[in-house]
Amino acid sequence: MTSETITAAASGTWRLGDLTVHRIGFGAMRLTGSGAFDVGTPSDRERVIGVLRRAVELGVNHIDTASFYFSSLRSANELINRALGPYPDGLVITTKVGPGRDPSGAWYWATPDQLRGQVEENLRQLGRDHLDVVNLRLKGPGPIAEHFGALAELREAGLIRHLGISNARPEHLAEAQAVAPVVCVQNRYSIDSRRPEADAFLRTCGEQGVAFVPFFAIAGAGREDGASAAEHPEILAVAEAHGATPAQVRLAWTLQRGPHVLAIPGTGNPDHLTANLAAAALQLTPSELTTLDTLAPA
């Protein structure tokens, strides 16, 4: 399929609270290098700055990032600030807090009292006076009201516009909504790596007007390491039928899960960027969707 003239607008729109975004956006994790964080080869700074600017030119108005997306040489937030500041009207930047990394790169999980520092770190790095959307990334099962309440206080103070949750379960959504409005749920979700109960949770989000934002939609089980060179024969067959790539099929399947489902593929490669956005115009048939659905793990 051709990709030169296809923009993010082909994916349609969804509202995150009062903010309207195209349903295909951009994930910033891959900006720092060939692998996430300190893994792989550092990115070419000017090249990824060019990718960010080209993404916005092609209609991307939703960028997902985090202050812990950094390597020894690159920071995703700093690259976004350098490439796009002063930010164009309508650009929505979503970030996440909960996990953190100290200057050495060592990981920690924030206490409720530490969340303000993480929010302020994102503000400084991005050069903004408020954050459009902040997702509370969850560590696992268990109550979240204290952490989410701390973010709700920062929302009331004007540092955050909207709140979401990440790596969440249905009970987390209900608990968070009892504290403050939730505009999005960001979970691991792909054709072949979603949990058995994930489809029901996706539908629940749609029924409540909450955006569902999959991460690792292309990488699948590869997670931070990226997509595997091996691919399911079923995905290859659909890709061949449409003159598309397997990655485009995975993104098209993601977008066709529901009008409230957003995609945030990330890349530091300008050719991959245009190919990813072109997936917004790829319409899979009902029979193809049924075939791909069978790839879900038991």
Query: Which residues lie below 8 Å from residue 296, measured CB to CB, with a gap of 6+?
Result: 191, 192, 194, 196, 199
Q: To 5 degrees, how large is the angle CA 1–CA 58–CA 18?
A: 120
Q: Give the integer Cα–Cα distance in Å for 297 and 246.
A: 18
Residue 188 contacts residue 216 (beta carbons within 8 Å): yes
Alpha helices in 85-144 (DSSP H): 115-126
- Burial of 291 per CB tally in 10 Å (0-12, 13-18, 19+): middle
Task: Give residues with Cβ within 8 angstroms of 207, minimum separation 6.
Answer: none
Kindly calculate the radius of gyration of the chain based on its CA atoms and give it in whole angstroms. 18
249 φ/ψ angles, rounded to the nearest 5 degrees = -65, -45
Asked if residue 65 lies in contact with residue 95, where contact means CB atoms within 8 angstroms, the answer is: yes
Active site residues: 69
H helix runs in 107-182, sequence order: 115-126, 145-156, 170-177
Q: Are strands 160-166 and 184-188 parallel, antiparallel or unpaired?
A: parallel
Return d(Cα 139, Cα 9) in angstroms, integer.
Answer: 34
Number of H helices, E strands in the chain: 10, 11
Cβ contact 227:245 at 8 Å = no
